[in-house]
Structure 1
Amino acid sequence: MSIIFNLLWIILGGFFVFCGYFFGGIVLCMTLVGIPWGLQCFKLAILALFPFGSEVTSRHPHAYPSDGLNLIMNIIWLIFGGLWVVFSHLAWGIVLCLSIIGIPFGIQHFKLMKLGFTPFGRRIVDY
């Protein structure tokens, strides 16, 4: 069932979300300073391409994703663009949840919002 939903997601706009994160990751990785944030954009791109059947979890099960260096990196992420990621996925999630048909897709935007808020210290797992 997740294959069908992933295909619908890609056809109905998920591919454009993937392209945005992918090309953003390429641009960030062109600079030495932006490589860590570019890798997080690639993580978001992978989740944006196949959100159904995937889950965002903490890298360390007993630790908050924002401890130590991850906290500093997440704060820099939020200041320089992460809030735009969070608010855009929040807005799309709310809009899609207004209709019964769009609820599964809205939930995936909320999943992307969760990863977009604190990408450092999180990983994507398939279930």
Structure 2
Amino acid sequence: MNAILNVLWLVLSGFWMAVGYAVAGVICCILIITIPFGIASFRMANYALWPFGRTLVDRRDAGAASLLGNLVWLVFAGWWLALGHLVTGALLCITIIGIPLGVANFKLVPVSLVPLGREIVPA
């Protein structure tokens, strides 16, 4: 079932969400000081391509640097990506078939707001 949902997800919204994360990652990597944000963005792009069967967990070793980094991310990129997930999730929830995909979009909102200090693991 996860494979079917992942393929539907990829076609309907996953590709475009991953492109958004990749663009944010490229911009962050161009600016040398924000490379950690770019790496986190590329991890989220990977998760946005194939989210079913995987989940996010908080890293135990994340500290104050992750908190400060998340605040910077929230101001400059996080709210744009979260808005994209909210709009896409609402549009997908209009149809019955799209409801699981819309819920997956809503599941990605918190990680798009504060990505540092989290890790993607198999469910």
**SS of residue matched to 1:98:** coil
Residue equivalent to 1:106 = 102
**SS of residue matched to 1:51:** coil
Matched positions, count: 123
* Contact 2:28/2:37, CA 8 A, preserved across alignment: yes
Residue equivalent to 1:31 = 31
Shift of 1:94: 2.5
**SS of residue matched to 2:116:** coil
Between the aligned partners of 1:18 and 1:111, the Cα distance in structure 2 is: 15
Between the aligned partners of 2:119 and 2:107, the Cα distance in structure 1 is: 12
Shift of 1:87: 2.0
Between the aligned partners of 2:12 and 2:75, the Cα distance in structure 1 is: 30
* Contact 1:56/1:111, CA 8 A, preserved across alignment: no
Shift of 1:26: 2.4
**SS of residue matched to 1:34:** helix
Between the aligned partners of 1:114 and 1:124, the Cα distance in structure 2 is: 13
Between the aligned partners of 1:2 and 1:126, the Cα distance in structure 2 is: 12
RMSD (CA atoms): 1.7
Residue segments in structure 2 that go unaligned for 5+ positions in a row: none
* Contact 2:17/2:85, CA 8 A, preserved across alignment: no
Residue equivalent to 2:44 = 44
Closer/same/farther in 2, CA of residues 74 and 45 from structure 1, 3 Å limit? same
Structure that is richer in helix per residue: 2
Residue equivalent to 1:20 = 20
Identity of aligned residues (%): 40
Shift of 1:98: 3.1
Closer/same/farther in 2, CA of residues 86 and 42 from structure 1, 3 Å limit? same
- In the superposition, the TM-score normalised over structure 2's length comes to 0.88
